[in-house]
Structure 1
Amino acid sequence: MSRPINSILIPTDGSEGALAGAKRAIALASWTGADIHVLSVVAVRSDLESIMDTTDSIYASLEDEAEDAVEAVADMARAHDDALEVTTTVTRGTPFQSIRAYATRREIDVIAMGTKGRDGLDRVLLGSVTENVLRTARTPVLAVPPSTDASNIDDIVFNEFLLPTDGSDGAAVATDWGITLASRLEAMIHTVYAIETGRISQAKAPEELLGALEQRGEDAIEHIREQARDADVSSSGGIATGPAADVILTSASERDVDLIVMGTHGRTGIGQWFLGSVTENVVREADVPVFCVPVSAESP
Structure 2
Amino acid sequence: MYDHILFPTDGSEPADSALDYALQIAAEHEATVHVLNVVDTSQVSRSGMQGDVSAALEQEGTEIVNETAQRARERGISVVSEVIHGDPYEAIVEYSTQSAVELIVMPTHGRRGLQRFLLGSVTERVINTADIPVIAVNPGTQPHTYPCQDLLVPTDGSRGSELALSEGVALANATDATLHILHVVETGSLGPDARSLVKDEELTTRADEIIADAIETAAAATVDTVESEIEFGIPSKEIRSYIDTHEIDFAILGTHGTTDFSRYMMGGVSSKIVRTSPVPVMWVREPDPSGG
TM class, shorter-length: 0.7 to 0.9
- Flag the 1:232–1:195 CA change in 2: closer, same or farther, 3 A: closer
Indicate yes or no: 2:34 matched with 1:43: no
Is the aligned partner of 1:133 residue 2:126? yes
What displacement does 1:191 show? 1.4
Pairs within 5 Å for 1:247-258: 247-258=238-249
| 2:72 is equivalent to residue 77 of structure 1 | yes
Considering only aligned residues, what root-mean-square deviation do their CA atoms show, in Å?
2.7
2:167 is matched by which residue type in structure 1?
Answer: W
Question: Kindly, what percent of the aligned residue pairs are identical?
Answer: 32
Q: Are 1:285 and 2:276 counterparts?
A: yes
Q: Which runs of 5+ in 2 are unaligned?
A: 258-263
Amino acid at match of 1:175: L
CA distance in 2, matches of 1:205, 1:50: 57
The 3 A distance-change label for structure 1 pair 69 and 79 is same
What CA distance in whole angstroms lies between the structure 2 residues aligned with 1:229 and 1:50? 57
Match for 2:10 among 4, 13, 26?
13
Q: How far apart are 1:129 and its partner, in Å?
A: 0.4
Match of 1:89 among 65, 82, 85: 82
Q: What is the Cα deviation at residue 205 of structure 1?
A: 10
1:178 is the counterpart of 2:192: no
Question: Which one-letter code corresponds to 2:246 in the other structure?
Answer: R
Q: Which residue of 2 aligns with 1:109?
A: 102
Q: Which of residues 222, 229, 233 is equivalent to 1:242?
A: 233
Shift in Å, 1:194 = 0.7
Letter of the 1:29 counterpart: A
Deviations 1:160-195 (A, max 9, x none): 111100012211111000010111011111111111
Question: Is the partner of 1:139 in helix, strand or coil?
Answer: coil
Shift of 1:275: 3.8
CA contact 1:7–1:36 (8 Å) conserved in 2 = yes
Q: What is the CA–CA distance in structure 2 between the aligned matches of 1:34 and 1:85, rounded to whole Å?
A: 7
Tell me if structure 2 keeps the 8 A contact 1:157–1:258.
no
Q: 1:67 is aligned with what amino acid?
A: T
How many aligned positions are there?
A: 277
Q: Report the CA distance shift for 1:46/1:290 in structure 2 as closer, same or farther (over 3 A).
A: closer
Specify whether residues 116 and 181 from structure 1 end up closer, same or farther in structure 2 by C-alpha distance, changes over 3 A only.
same
